[in-house]
């Protein structure tokens, strides 16, 4: 049985190979270590955080070219934590540039933003290092 994090990383790898081919390389992506689930309990000892199912948060976090991309499983998605988020820099609310559901519209928005930023020369690391791709 494949766990949720592996499925999310496979989805991200497919996204890179399909939509970002020629812009970024999957081999240049940094994977962030999984986060431990924080279990909140009420005074009687019952769990408050019923959304968590295991010991780690079911999300995939990658960093590339100064961006941070987070993809969460449906079990981890809440109104304040959307399924897909792209940050220009560290994962803080003031650096968020795209957020949305795990659907083609959100992924297309991410691709358009990344392509536009590369065309404008706003690439942080990769385009200056390997301009002769």
What pLDDT shows up at residue 129? 42
Q: Please, which pLDDT band fits residue 130 given cuts at 50, 70 and 90?
A: very low
Residues 65 and 52 sit within 8 Å (Cβ to Cβ)? no
Residues 6+ away with beta carbon under 8 Å from 83: 71, 72, 74, 77, 100, 101, 102, 106
What pLDDT shows up at residue 53? 63
- The tens digit of pLDDT for each residue in 65-123 reads 999 999 998 888 888 889 999 999 888 888 999 999 999 999 999 999 999 998 888 65
Range 4-9 average pLDDT: 90
Backbone φ and ψ for 28, nearest 5 degrees, come out as -95, 0
**Residue 72 and residue 60: Cα distance in Å, rounded?**
6
For the chain, what are the domain ranges?
A: 4-123
pLDDT > 90: what percent of the chain?
Answer: 45
Res. 133: pLDDT tops 70: no
For the chain, first and last CA: distance in Å? 38
pTM of the model: 0.79
What pLDDT shows up at residue 46? 79
What pLDDT shows up at residue 122? 66
Tell which wins on pLDDT, 124 or 77: 77
What pLDDT shows up at residue 50? 61
């Amino acid at each position: 049985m494949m766990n949720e994090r592996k499925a999310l990383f496979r989805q991200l790898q497919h996204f890179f190979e399909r939509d970002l081919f020629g812009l970024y390389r999957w081999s240049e992506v940094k994977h962030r270590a999984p986060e431990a689930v924080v279990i909140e309990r009420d005074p009687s000892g019952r769990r408050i955080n019923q959304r968590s199912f295991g010991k780690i948060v079911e999300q995939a976090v990658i960093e590339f070219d100064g961006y941070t991309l987070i993809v969460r499983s449906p079990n981890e998605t809440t109104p304040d934590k959307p399924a897909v988020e792209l940050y220009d820099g560290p994962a803080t609310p003031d650096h968020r540039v795209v957020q949305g559901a795990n659907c083609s519209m959100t992924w297309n928005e991410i691709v358009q933003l990344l392509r536009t930023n590369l065309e404008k020369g706003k690439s942080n690391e990769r385009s200056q290092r390997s301009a002769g791709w």
